[in-house]
């Protein structure tokens, strides 16, 4: 039976930050465990985080990623020195696999390889926490690769790693090594556990759409028959020399959803982020994109963001019934943090997530990060999202 424990901190020294998290999560007497998941802002030395975790928990599989801020039981923080962890005990129901060198062009094959590794270790996996590089990756292909091994009924939840919104490099940790283009999966096979996932964004599509006129996989070469980056930045009223970091806060692209999915999502569109551009003006989309796809620019609707959050939480609580909530994993788009909201609004938004899932005023073990993208089910299918808050509530069924 898996038991979860979490903690977060803001501390300059990386080894002391990890020590503080483990003390708070597991107590000071026995910190050995079977799994430690780490989210750390870009100001930390990730190797030092790993080394301290290994020294204190020699039996643990260690995985983690860079991010743009964390959310824990203690609240939300987006400094350059944030660390949050989720620790777990229950080795017989936890398996870890990873691959290196995952990019947009090979995401399908690499994700399938990852899934085969995981299934060889734990055939009874019923939910998968998946974390991949946030730059130059095809996230739809990752889902297809995992599902080619496990099928579509295994729930995939998780995120893609981030930097401090520069779109330059993001990092992943697996055991004793830090990677830049890796993906890892944690498979949970505890038969008493199930997960509820849901995502929401609250942005609104505006203006006339841009049309994808040439694309390869997750790369858009032209929009409206012109170099994609040139058209995209022109529509955003930014210079063509703008960076991805300049476009992320204001440049969410929207694809129209079918009516049934739009009704469930609470929005007519699903959003996409651009995290890399090529010298020839092509831009890297977060998922597959077909020629002829219409893409709208969007604006944030702050009232709708809060209203949609309340709607999502009511739906998640209703779906859970009276089951015991044992842990919450949480992925949030970095552009929904301090880059779009002031501190008061950000903390209020997190409060609206955590309060409905609390019992007697106590927040459950909680691991959240601000990253480049989020995985959550939509229409009963594993789906990749951008610019959302995505929550993954794990319940004990028996």
Q: Which of 79, 80, 76, 46 is nearest to 63 (CA)?
A: 46
Enclosing domain of residue 188: 3-199+306-396
- How much is the pLDDT for 165? 77
Whether 120 and 247 map to the same domain: the answer is no
Using 70 as the pLDDT threshold, list the residues of the chain that sit under it.
337-345, 398
Measured CA to CA, the distance from residue 221 to residue 225 in angstroms comes to 9
- How much is the pLDDT for 338? 60
Domain boundary among 266, 283, 300: 300
Whether 157 and 58 map to the same domain: the answer is yes
- How much is the pLDDT for 174? 98
Single pTM value for the model: 0.95
Report angle CA 136, 137, 138 to the nearest 5 degrees. 135
pLDDT tens digits, residue range 163-196? 987 888 999 999 999 999 999 999 999 999 999 9
Whether 255 and 115 map to the same domain: the answer is no
Measured CA to CA, the distance from residue 172 to residue 192 in angstroms comes to 29
Domain boundary among 270, 300, 330: 300
Report angle CA 128, 129, 130 to the nearest 5 degrees. 105
- How much is the pLDDT for 200? 96
Whether 108 and 227 map to the same domain: the answer is no
Whether 319 and 175 map to the same domain: the answer is yes
Whether 14 and 153 map to the same domain: the answer is yes
Torsion angle defined by CA atoms of residues 209, 256, 391 and 246, in that order, rounded to the nearest 10 degrees: -10
Q: How many domains does the chain have?
A: 2
Whether 296 and 360 map to the same domain: the answer is no
Length of the chain: 398
- How much is the pLDDT for 337? 65
Whether 209 and 268 map to the same domain: the answer is yes
Domain boundary among 279, 300, 321: 300
Measured CA to CA, the distance from residue 329 to residue 199 in angstroms comes to 12
Whether 96 and 240 map to the same domain: the answer is no
Whether 61 and 128 map to the same domain: the answer is yes
Measured CA to CA, the distance from residue 140 to residue 156 in angstroms comes to 12
R_g of the chain computed on alpha carbons: 20
Q: Could you give the 3-state DSSP secondary structure of residue 185?
A: strand
- How much is the pLDDT for 394? 98
Decide: 131 and 211 in contact? Cβ < 8 Å. Answer: no
- How much is the pLDDT for 128? 98
- How much is the pLDDT for 339? 53
Whether 47 and 107 map to the same domain: the answer is yes
Whether 149 and 43 map to the same domain: the answer is yes
Strand 324-333 and strand 389-396: pairing? Answer: antiparallel
- How much is the pLDDT for 257? 97
Measured CA to CA, the distance from residue 249 to residue 325 in angstroms comes to 33
- How much is the pLDDT for 205? 96
């Amino acid at each position: 039976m898996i038991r979860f424990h979490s903690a977060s901190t803001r501390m300059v020294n990386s080894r002391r930050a990890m020590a503080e998290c483990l003390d708070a999560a597991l107590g000071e007497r026995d910190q050995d465990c079977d799994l430690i998941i780490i989210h750390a802002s870009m100001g930390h030395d990730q190797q030092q985080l790993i080394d301290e975790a290994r020294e204190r928990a020699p039996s643990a599989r260690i995985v983690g990623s860079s991010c743009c801020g964390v959310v824990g039981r203690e609240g939300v923080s987006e400094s350059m020195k944030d660390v949050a962890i989720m620790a777990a005990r229950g080795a017989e129901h936890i398996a870890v696999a990873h691959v290196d060198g995952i990019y947009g062009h090979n995401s399908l094959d690499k994700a399938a390889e990852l899934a085969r590794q995981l299934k060889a270790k734990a055939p009874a996996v019923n939910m998968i926490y998946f974390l991949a590089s946030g730059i130059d990756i095809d996230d739809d292909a990752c889902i297809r690769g995992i599902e080619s091994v496990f099928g579509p009924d295994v729930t995939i939840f998780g995120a893609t790693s981030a930097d401090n919104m520069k779109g330059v490099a993001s990092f992943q940790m697996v055991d004793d090594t830090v990677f830049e283009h890796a993906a890892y999966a944690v498979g949970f096979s505890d038969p008493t556990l199930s997960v509820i996932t849901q995502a929401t964004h609250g942005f609104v599509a505006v203006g006339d759409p841009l049309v994808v006129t040439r694309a390869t996989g997750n790369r858009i070469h032209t929009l409206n028959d012109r170099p994609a980056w040139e058209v995209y930045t022109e529509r955003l009223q930014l210079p063509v020399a703008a960076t991805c970091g300049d476009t992320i806060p204001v440049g969410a692209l929207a694809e129209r959803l079918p009516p049934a999915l739009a009704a469930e999502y609470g929005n007519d569109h699903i959003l996409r982020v651009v995290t890399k551009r090529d010298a020839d003006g092509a831009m890297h989309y977060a998922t597959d994109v077909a020629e002829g796809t219409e893409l709208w620019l969007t604006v944030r609707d702050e009232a709708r963001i809060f209203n949609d959050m309340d709607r999502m939480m009511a739906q998640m609580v209703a779906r859970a019934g009276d089951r015991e909530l044992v842990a919450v994993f949480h992925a949030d788009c970095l552009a929904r943090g301090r880059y779009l909201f002031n501190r008061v609004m950000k903390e209020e938004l997190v409060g609206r997530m955590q309060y409905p899932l609390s019992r007697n005023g106590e927040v459950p073990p909680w691991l959240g990060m601000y990253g480049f993208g989020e995985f959550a089910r939509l229409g009963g299918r594993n789906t990749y999202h951008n610019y959302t808050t995505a929550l993954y509530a794990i319940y004990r069924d028996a």
